[in-house]
Every structure is written in structure tokens, then in C-alpha cells.
Amino acid sequence: MGRKWSALSISLSLLIGCSQAPTPDSANQSAHPAGKTVPGGPQAVAQRDKTGGQGRQRQLALNLGLPGWPTFKHTPRKPFSNARPARPDELRPAIPDGPPPSLQLQSQALSASSGTINVFYSDPLPASSPYRDGGRVHAIHLANLLGHFPGYQIVVKRISEYRAGDASASVRTFYIGTVFDEVMPASFLDETAQGAPVTWINYNIWQLGEKLPTRLGLQYVESIFATGGEEKTTYNKIEYKGYTYDKYIAPMAMIKVQANAGVNVVATAKNAAGQAIPYIANSGKFWYVADDPFSYIHPTDRYVAFADTLFSMLESQESCTPRAILRIEDLIAEDDPSGLRNILDVLVKEKVTKFGMTVIPQNVVPQADGTFSNYNWNRNVAMLKQVYRGIDLGGRVMQHGYTHQFTPLRNMSGHSGDDWEFWYKAQETPIPNLTASGAVKRIQDGRKLLLKLGIQQYGWTTPHYEAHTPFYTPFNQVYPQALERRIYVGDDVRAGQFFPYAVRDTYGTKVIPENLGNIQVGWMPAQILEAAKANRNLTCPTASFFIHTYLFEPDYTDEDKTTQEELAALIRGIRDLGFEFVDPLELQVP
């Protein structure tokens, strides 16, 4: 993650980075009867392929002014002025290379289930359309969440590929409607009405006709859109398990239904006047969700509530103790050790004995003449000793790229910690000539550097949480588990996702969640604590966040400067909610 990036009100493409709290996901660009679209946000547009379709993915451009999703500015760093080289006796013995160690834990989960879960999504809008509806990428997001539940075969298809009997024969079938009034297979409508285990999300519920109220207990009332360019949605507060979640205030749809007697309204949506309508409702084996919960997700969003209802939809008996993860981010050779030392002092005082640390193996510095130089870890023994100290205090090291930049690109500055390593951010394209095997070699080279320093790594965190998506599965060759948020692509929409619990995602990676964001301008400890509250009453409560060491350096003066007492208060506040700080590796996929 970038070292000194803070909030700046500009529009960026729909991607996530690591010095920020993560990026919202794709907008709800769905066709409705007048042939218009449901816009995705205050400055959201579907961005046309600027290269005429020659290898560049369409992307949704967003204003990232969401709570917990600020954009960035760069503050040039200065190497630690009092650095001295390490003596040989100050270095720890090298560690032999081998598979990353894993934590042997007794699983809290029941034995794995079996059977098929179907995830159907709206057929994409035509390629000629300037808009993408986001259906496939949201289906991938749902499949990722379902990756928390072991043993199921998860099948993702377009709704036009539905075949008679698919729903009836499944453990559960999900349908995500992102295209208004699309043609629905008659067999799917019939099986849903007959009581097949179906979860229907968003549009087109009205196509069930009279069977909806008579057999499923719901009555379709209307589709509520924000019109006239108003940046609001009528029902934008979602109440679930005693917490009020937010639906981002943007012109997105909400489907208004009424529930008959006997229907369990699991979550309600309220407007400013306090009027309530069902948001998530359950009738027998049928579940309905009144909008697309994967659009504009953020740490206190209704997406979190939806993700929790999957335990009920799948009749999971899993239970978890509330667990928190604190991660120290972007540890790099040239930094002033005072920031890391100040953080570790707080952890000692607050008795936090388990936490995460992301370490950048090779520090690359761009020079004024256009060249690049390496700043190796043994040049700054004071910083290296603080990393060793963190390990001794219980820190689990995650490898954070190789150089956290890509020479010779200035992507954005060329400096380790600032730049993207596995995605050409300046152009929003893959890095030219970087192959999957080349990306894996970079990871392996970085791993060897850390092992030579006596630093054992236990997992991976992608620089700025972002890579060319074909790289993620090959990354598993080195690290099968990652502590991060990730990027997914479906039908030319590139979108990020965070997880409220551990999952095995569609890339085959065990993803340890980071779901609260990080301290920065616009997202300070109070907001992180509030995001923890949003997760407290869930089935598997997780509160995972990260901090940068520069915030705690004596000479740092930006708005997000954080004191030791403020960090201590945040730790105590999360504990007061009932969370226990744990080793990141303890968050297992059942």
C-alpha cells in the first residue's frame, strides 16, 4: 500500500488500493423500461472502451467520496537521516526456503456440506451499449462469499442458461437481476413459485405475477428510482440485527414489496420519514433482497448484512467468537523507525500479542536523472531491528509485493510503497510484457530476500490490493492465503470486493478479511470503530483494519496524524465491543 496517500476529492476508476480504505465496487448500471439506465453514483458513468475494444477492459468510473473510500494524494518521502548499515551480528540467521508455514487450528465449523449452489445473473447488455450492468461481476462477488461455506459446487451462469430442474435440484439457487424486465425462463419462474430453494435479488420479481403473493407471501408494489439527477435514494437505511446499515446515497433502485402474514422480514429499509419496507424477506425456502447489495459497498453498508444472511439461507450451524485483526502496513527499509517503534510500544502496553505486518522486500528509489536505485534492508539497521522486534512480539509477516513498484514505470511516482506493481494504474491496463510467470518470479525473488534476512512470511498482500486478474491464481503457487481485498472482472467490469469473513475466492485463494479500512483523512479511528460495531452482531464477527507507521512519526503533521493514545483508545474500543485480537491465520475457511 502507498505510504503517504490521503483523501483527495477526485474521481478515479473503480479500483482499490491499499493505503486507502478499499474501493467501492461496481455501480448499478441497469436498463429500465424507458430505455434509460439507473446511474451508479454522483459522478458514475460507464466508461467506454477508449481503445475501440483492442484489449482494454471497460470500467466504471466513480467518485470515491464514499465513507471509507477516499482517493489519494502523494507526499514525497525522505529516507531516515540517521540510518546506518547493519553489522553481520545484527542480522538474523537465514531461513531455508520452503512452503509458507500454516497455523494448525481446530476448526470451529461443522463438517463440509455437499451439493450444488447456482448463481444466475442477468444476461449482459449488448456490447454496443455504453453501459455495463455489472451482473456477472456481482455474481462472482456472491460466489466469493459462498466460498466461506465448504463442500458446495458453485455454478455461475447467465439466466438464459437456466435449464428446467436447476433450482429444484440445488441446495440453493440465487438470481441477481440487474437488467430491468429481462426475459425470464418460464421454468425458473414455475420452480420458484412451487417452493424451490431460491434467493431472488433485485429486479424482475414482478414477473412471478399472482404466484408471488399467493404462494410466496410477497406483493410487488413498485420500483423506486431516483429521478431528475437527484443524488438520493428514498430508502437508504437498512435495519438488521439491531444495527442501522447504510445504502449509499446515490440514485440506485429499491424494489418496494409488502409482506403478507407469516413472512419473516429479516431486514427493513427505512426512509427519512421513518417509513419501513421489507429489505430482506424470507418465506419458506424463498428469500428476497430488494436491491443489488453488491453495488457501492462500503464498511457499514447493507452488503455486510446481506453477507450475514447467507448463513441462514444455507442453514449453516457455524458460530464464531468475535475476532479482530490489526495490521501494520508498508514496512520498508528506508523509513524512520520511530513510527513502527511507537506502534509497537502501544501494542505492548495494550497487551496485543497477535497482529499482522506487511513487509516490502526490496526498496526501490527513483532518481532525478531517471534511473532507479535499491535501498536494501541492511542499510537501515534501526528499522530492521524494529521489524525483528515486531516479529518477536507476535507479528505475522505478510509479503507485500517484491518492490511495490515496477521499474521503469512511474506508476505513479516510481517509488516503492507508492506505486502499483502488478497493474499499470496510470493507464488502467496490464503492465506491458509482464506475464503471470514473471509476476510469480517477482514474488519468489522477494520471498528469498526476506528469508535471507531471517524473516519468515506466512502469506501475501497484493500492493494496493490490485493486480491484473489473471495473476491472482498463479500467486497461489507461492502463497495460497492472502490478507487483503481483491479485484474481480466480469463482462468487462473490473470491481473490488472486501469480505466480512474468511473465504476461498474464485481464484482459489484463502482470503483473510480486511473489512474496516485504515486510518486516513476522512476515515479516522472513530469511523473504524463504527465499522467494527456494524460487524459485531453478525454470525462470524470480524473487525480487521490496518495502520501506516508514518502516521506515528514525530515529524508527520497531516490531518490524519495519529497519536499513541488514539491508537490505544481504538484498540480498547474494539475490545469493549467483545472482539479479541487474534493471529490473522486464525481466520480459517471452514
Residue 560, SS3 per DSSP: coil
291 and 420 both lie in a single domain? no
Number of domains in the chain: 2
CB 331 within 8 A of CB 549: yes
**List of residues 6+ apart from 315 with CB closer than 8 A:** none
- Higher-confidence residue of 56 and 332: namely 332
Position 71 pLDDT exceeds 50: no
User: Strand runs (DSSP E) across 407-540, as ranges?
Assistant: 457-460, 481-483, 486-490, 493-497, 503-504, 510-512, 517-518
Helix (H) or strand (E) holding 373: strand 372-375
Q: Is residue 39 part of a domain?
A: no
User: DSSP letter at 87?
Assistant: P
User: Which of 268, 285, 313 represents a domain boundary (last residue)?
Assistant: 313
Among 278, 313, 348, residue at a domain's last position: 313
Residues 305 and 386 in one domain: no
Q: In the chain, what is the straight-line distance between the N-terminal and C-terminal CA atoms, in Å?
A: 29
pLDDT value for 251: 62
Q: Within this chain, do residues 266 and 355 fall inside the same structural domain, yes or no?
A: no
The CA distances from residue 467 to 16, 71, 428, 439, 494, in Å, are 10, 18, 11, 10, 11
Asked if the structure places residue 454 within a domain, the reply is: yes
Least confident segment among 1-5, 190-194, 254-258, 451-455: 1-5
- Do 390 and 296 belong together in one domain? no
- Beta-carbon count within 10 A of 463 CB: 29
Q: Are residues 336 and 305 in the same domain?
A: no
Amino acid found at 258: Q
Q: How many CA atoms lie within 13 A of 42 on its CB side?
A: 12
Instruction: Tell me: do 265 and 331 sit in the same domain.
Output: no
Quote the DSSP letter at residue 201.
E
Q: What are 236's three cell numbers?
A: 437508504
Strand partners, 5: 74
Asked whether residue 553 is domain-assigned, the answer is: yes
Q: Are residues 409 and 557 in the same domain?
A: yes
Interatomic CA distance for residues 94 and 89, integer angstroms: 12
Q: Specify the CATH number for the domain of residue 471.
A: 3.20.20.370
Same-domain check for residues 441 and 551: yes
Range of the domain at 143: 115-313
Q: What is residue 48's predicted lDDT score, i.e. its pLDDT?
A: 22
pLDDT at 134: 87
pLDDT score of 65: 43
DSSP string, 11-36: EEES---SSSSPPP-----EE-TTS-
**Are 405 and 428 found together in one domain?**
yes
Whether 397 and 259 map to the same domain: the answer is no
Q: Is the pLDDT of residue 157 over 50?
A: yes
Query: Range with the lowest mean pLDDT among 127-136, 142-151, 197-206, 323-332?
Result: 127-136
Predicted local confidence at residue 29, as pLDDT = 37
165: left (phi over 0), alpha (psi -120 to 50) or beta: left
Contacts 24+ apart (CB under 8 A), 384-389: 384/86, 384/90, 384/91, 384/333, 384/453, 385/90, 385/337, 386/337, 386/340, 386/341, 386/344, 387/331, 387/340, 387/357, 387/359, 387/455, 388/92, 388/454, 388/455, 389/341, 389/344
Helix (H/G/I), strand (E/B), else coil: 463: helix
Q: Give yes or no for residue 55 having a pLDDT over 60.
A: no
pLDDT mean over 398-416: 95
Identify whether 343 is part of a domain: yes
- Tell me the pLDDT band of 31, cut-offs 50, 70 and 90: very low
Phi/psi at 564 (5° precision): -60, -40
pLDDT for 146: 98
- Quick one: what percent of the chain has pLDDT higher than 70? 83
Which of 285, 313, 341 is the endpoint of a domain?
A: 313
pLDDT at residue 61, rounded to an integer: 29
The domain spanning residue 147 has which CATH number?
Answer: 3.40.50.880
Residues 298 and 371 occupy one common structural domain: no
Report the range of poorest mean pLDDT among 63-72, 417-426, 438-447. Answer: 63-72
104 inside domain: no
pTM of the model: 0.90
Angle between helices 564-576 and 337-349 (to 10 degrees): 40
Across the chain, what does the average pLDDT equal? 86
Which CA distances in Å does 213 have to 86, 193, 208, 285, 305? Answer: 74, 10, 9, 15, 25
Same domain, 375 and 460: yes
Strands (E), 248-366: 254-259, 264-271, 276-283, 286-289, 323-331, 355-359, 363-366
The least confident of 22-26, 110-114, 171-175, 401-405 is 22-26
The whole-angstrom separation of Cα 561 and Cα 564 is 10
Instruction: Evaluate if residue 271 carries a pLDDT over 60.
Output: yes
What are the grid coordinates assigned to 407, written together?
A: 521499474
